[in-house]
Structure 1
Amino acid sequence: MSSSEHELMWLQLLQTPARGAVPLQLQLRTALVNAILDGRLQAGLCLPSGRELAALVDVSRNTVVLVYDRLVADGYLEARPRDGYYVCGSIARANVTRVNASAAPGTPDWSAKIHPPSTQFRWLDRPQDWQKYRYPFIFGQFDPKLFPLSDWRECSRQALGVAAVESWAQDGTGGDSAQLIEQLIRRVLPRRGIAARPDQILLTLGTQHGLYLLGELFADAGTVVGVENPGYMDARNIFSRQAARVLPLPVDESGLKVSSQLAECKYIYCTPSHQCPTGVTMSTDRRIALLNHASQHDQVIFEDDYDPETQYLGQPLPALKAIDKCDRVIYLSSLSKLLSPGLRIGYIVAPTPVIEQLRLLRRLMIRQAPGNNQVAAAFFIQQGHYDRLLHQTRHVLSSRAAVLADALTRRMPNAGFTIPSGGSSVWLRLSGSPDLAALRAACLARGVLFDPGEPFFQEQMTVPYIRLGFSSIPIERIKPGIEELSNALDASSRHFLRAYRHT
């Protein structure tokens, strides 16, 4: 093989590592291991010298030597003194034995066997690559720039210590991290006015997982479950999946209304802290009236404490659970919204008999929640990082809320909204009768993302609403993003008028 052919072969096998978040050593090691395990580098093959490979893939010679030495230690390469590095012949590659299956009379009719989710479910559909859009006014995502990566990395390192690993790495019997439960009891729940014992708390993979467990435990065919309207569509979907009858409950500027419809419900799902999606906070009088109603009609309330600790104007009201004297409130919340949605750390606070049954259901579903993130989160709270992140997040969200409110007032004066005092979104009522599908398409073309209002309603939306989240958009992009939204709305309205005139 000529020198140029030799170089070309290695360049095809090992692309030049990209300068970025992944260390060069890791990129080079991964490329070599994959080539060995895939059989592209055969056993006994001599690898280029450290100097040669460094020049080929444009990294330092020390990087190559460190990778070679580590692969020797791991058994992928063999170092021959004064000769070089060779692909080790003892690397085992999985070979699947071929079996000639006998002819079968056709494939299953999956449509007849599967009980799929209802096609009537409403979802929030977002582009998978939403991070690439310049103006992501979407809810429920976090700003990576706010995440204290070094602090979380240090807590994760502590969670990987020998003693910590021994506590969470075993296959358990459905228990939870005692460290994290203690921190929830001592540091998190008291801020919501809630006192609880360890046997009254269950950790979940986020609030939605908790809702699914509650739906499985309490809802069955015909059970009447009241859900706010507009409200969180996945709560409605989960209870509908259990064949429950979901009753839409009206919401006003004080939160869930204690209306005549409420008496029909056996269970009531609500978001008192920051109502989803309107963002309103349920008033004290309304909270007391709701608890009294539940007591009089033997009802259970599922309280989803949405964005519970992001109140930046005034003092937050205590959770419903905190003022419930009859144990009728089952409380759900999450650490994920503040830390990171991908961590999936939520929890339920409920009477002990309920927690016992939920624990059994969770064991059937996932056996136990992953322990490493639980322990890391416990260290994160214990060492004060959670409180500092909470303070920083409140400040940032407050600033973004003010900029968003000002931009909407200036650019879209005919739109209706309430200036948020907490949370991370604005529920925006658009003026006129815009074609929302056309508006969304136009906004996508301009790099603007928002959450459409339709999925939050159980029935047809009669007033045009959209939700603008501001947790993941940089503050300097809010004003130009609203300008783009306003321009798209104006263009959509002109298109609608032209089409109307031609009919």
Structure 2
Amino acid sequence: MEIPVESFYLPEGGGGSLQQRIRQMVAEGILAGRFRAADRMPSSRGLAAHLGVSRITVTLAYTELVAADYLTARGRSGYFVSEGVPVQPEFRPVPKVESSVDWEALCGGRFSRMERVERPEDWRSYPYPFIYGQADPALFDHQNWRLCALQALGRREFETLTADRYERDDPLLIEYLLRNILPRRGIEARPSEVLVTMGAQNALWLAAQVLLRPGGHAVVENPGYPGFRAMCAQAGARVTPVAVDEGGLSVDSLPAGVDVVFTTASHQSPTNATMPVARRTALLRAAEERNFLVVEDDYEFEMSFLKPVSPSIKSLDSGGRVVHAGSFSKSIFPGLRLGWLVGPEPFIREARALRAQVLRHPPGQLQRTTAHFLSLGHYDALVNRMKAAFAKRRKAMEEAISQHDLKVAGQGGFGGSSFWMEAAPHMDTEEMALRLRAEGVLIEPGRVFFHPGTEERHFFRLAYSSIPVGKIPEGIALVARAMRGM
């Protein structure tokens, strides 16, 4: 049977090259059972004319499909669907039935109801995206990342690419962390004290699960990263919020009987406050005297372009009471999902065993690609490029904020990529965010950062990691206008 040319259609806006899209279209038709073994494909000339592409594009797509055994070529007779293609079983559609299980009662919404900072999936289509933690394609080193990925896919790296490492991490990545990344934070560690994780979120979850038992007592910052509250609650711990000030978490306000303190000391989330060294040493002294542990999330260390950062809490730790978490999400790109934990060897041993039960280890190819990117100097070049761009954007933000008399509640003294803003007390920034979205402006309302029962609705965050510098003045003007309108 000859497959009619009208069976093929290329929708607009698809991803990949024309050749890749044609190859995918044919393969999907075969796998779905629409095209059967021995069916004859349209001629390359006929399909090219129908799709409005060059004949060579179709010929190359057919050639790759032959190599993949989806098609066979029979001399001058043309291309046919291969006899060896997988055939989908023909099941009759099963009518949908209502489940007799009360899933809401069974699951209890223990995980899905945890609040998080929301942003639209199509945020890149908005002209003024003042949202946090997203990568800017204009700054990213696509070419060298691609070369590192190809190197990690090479035959010499076959074992790293394909092997199940069980609980072990890529030794090349661990070596670079120990020799370059951690010393910048003042941390000296051995391989047995470091664990590679699927980003900082995974690192912090592992820490909460290992360090907290049901009925334990955790302290989180208020306002603070919402994930801390969720992870501690999932571990069955009691969570106490402690207010932050211009120096971050207040040590004097720590309650009695605490087991673990979670802090973003270097760059407090979301206020950007930096904990002074004197307060860091006071926190460590209190941990020794009152027998609690500290989990330090050093999530934006590299983005310090105004002046040098303070040493990490872990670097000051002489009693083995600090677990340090870091990530490449802000400095490379968030979709990479690679981070690390540093802590005493007994803790890392338990975290490694727990990680193995959940995901074994982060993908070897990702670890090795990142290791090459770091070791070849591309990472430092990327960070320097981001610092220079962020410094310009921050200056543009400061000028626009000042011009429109907006109030900054926290901007930090080391750099970073955002401002913590304060509106008039009567304003609800969630309502303001909805109004601004209609004008193409995305901001992050601040309510979600506050512990339940302590919410303040007149704060919001403006980030500049992914907005072009030329868009900042007009975007801030729209924010100011929306505030005046409320």
TM range (shorter): over 0.9
* Residue pair 2:272, 2:412 contacting (<8 A) in 1 also: no
* Shift of residue 185, structure 1, vs aligned partner: 0.7
Paired residues, what number?
A: 484
SS of the equivalent of 1:294 reads helix
Cα distance in structure 1, aligned partners of 2:442 and 2:318: 43
Equivalent residue number for residue 398 of structure 2: 405
- Cα distance change, pair 360–296 in 1 and its aligned pair in 2 (3 A): same
Equivalent residue number for residue 496 of structure 1: none
* Residue pair 1:232, 1:276 contacting (<8 A) in 2 also: yes
* Shift of residue 83, structure 1, vs aligned partner: 2.1
- Cα distance change, pair 454–17 in 1 and its aligned pair in 2 (3 A): closer
- Cα distance change, pair 392–74 in 1 and its aligned pair in 2 (3 A): same
* Residue pair 1:187, 1:381 contacting (<8 A) in 2 also: no
Cα distance in structure 1, aligned partners of 2:105 and 2:408: 48
Structure showing greater radius of gyration is 1
Cα distance in structure 2, aligned partners of 1:72 and 1:105: 45
From 267, 277, 292, give the equivalent of 1:274: 267
Alignment of 1:27-426 (within 5 A): 27-95=21-89, 107-117=100-110, 121-414=114-407, 416-418=409-411, 420-426=413-419
Unaligned residue ranges in structure 1 (runs of 5+): 493-503
Which residue identity does 1:267 align to in structure 2? V
Equivalent residue number for residue 486 of structure 1: 480
- Once the two structures are superposed, residues 439-466 of structure 1 have per-residue CA deviations (whole angstroms, 9 ceiling, x without a partner) of 1211111111111111111133347210
- Once the two structures are superposed, residues 163-206 of structure 1 have per-residue CA deviations (whole angstroms, 9 ceiling, x without a partner) of 31212412232111111000111111111111111100011111
SS of the equivalent of 1:146 reads coil
* Residue pair 1:230, 1:277 contacting (<8 A) in 2 also: yes
* Residue pair 1:401, 1:420 contacting (<8 A) in 2 also: no
- Cα distance change, pair 239–322 in 1 and its aligned pair in 2 (3 A): same
* Residue pair 2:446, 2:457 contacting (<8 A) in 1 also: no
* Residue pair 2:390, 2:465 contacting (<8 A) in 1 also: yes
From 7, 13, 17, give the equivalent of 2:8: 13
SS of the equivalent of 2:76 reads coil
* Residue pair 2:421, 2:460 contacting (<8 A) in 1 also: yes
- Cα distance change, pair 78–462 in 1 and its aligned pair in 2 (3 A): closer
RMSD over aligned CA atoms reads: 2.4
- Cα distance change, pair 38–412 in 1 and its aligned pair in 2 (3 A): same
Cα distance in structure 2, aligned partners of 1:443 and 1:95: 50
Cα distance in structure 1, aligned partners of 2:42 and 2:22: 13
Q: How much identity, in percent, do the aligned residues show?
A: 37
Cα distance in structure 1, aligned partners of 2:150 and 2:446: 42
* Residue pair 1:420, 1:426 contacting (<8 A) in 2 also: no
Equivalent residue number for residue 498 of structure 1: none
* Residue pair 2:407, 2:421 contacting (<8 A) in 1 also: no
Cα distance in structure 2, aligned partners of 1:188 and 1:415: 32
Cα distance in structure 2, aligned partners of 1:24 and 1:253: 54
Cα distance in structure 2, aligned partners of 1:59 and 1:16: 13
Which residue identity does 2:142 align to in structure 1? L
Which residue identity does 2:175 align to in structure 1? E
**TM-score, normalising length from structure 2?**
0.94
* Residue pair 1:310, 1:422 contacting (<8 A) in 2 also: yes
Which residue identity does 1:373 align to in structure 2? L
* Shift of residue 467, structure 1, vs aligned partner: 0.8
Equivalent residue number for residue 448 of structure 2: 455
Cα distance in structure 2, aligned partners of 1:92 and 1:311: 54
- Cα distance change, pair 236–62 in 1 and its aligned pair in 2 (3 A): same
Cα distance in structure 1, aligned partners of 2:357 and 2:108: 19
- Cα distance change, pair 483–419 in 1 and its aligned pair in 2 (3 A): farther
SS of the equivalent of 2:251 reads coil
Which residue identity does 1:253 align to in structure 2? E
- Cα distance change, pair 409–55 in 1 and its aligned pair in 2 (3 A): same
SS of the equivalent of 1:437 reads helix
- Once the two structures are superposed, residues 220-248 of structure 1 have per-residue CA deviations (whole angstroms, 9 ceiling, x without a partner) of 22211111111111111110122211111
Cα distance in structure 1, aligned partners of 2:434 and 2:410: 23
Moved more, 453-462 or 479-488: 453-462
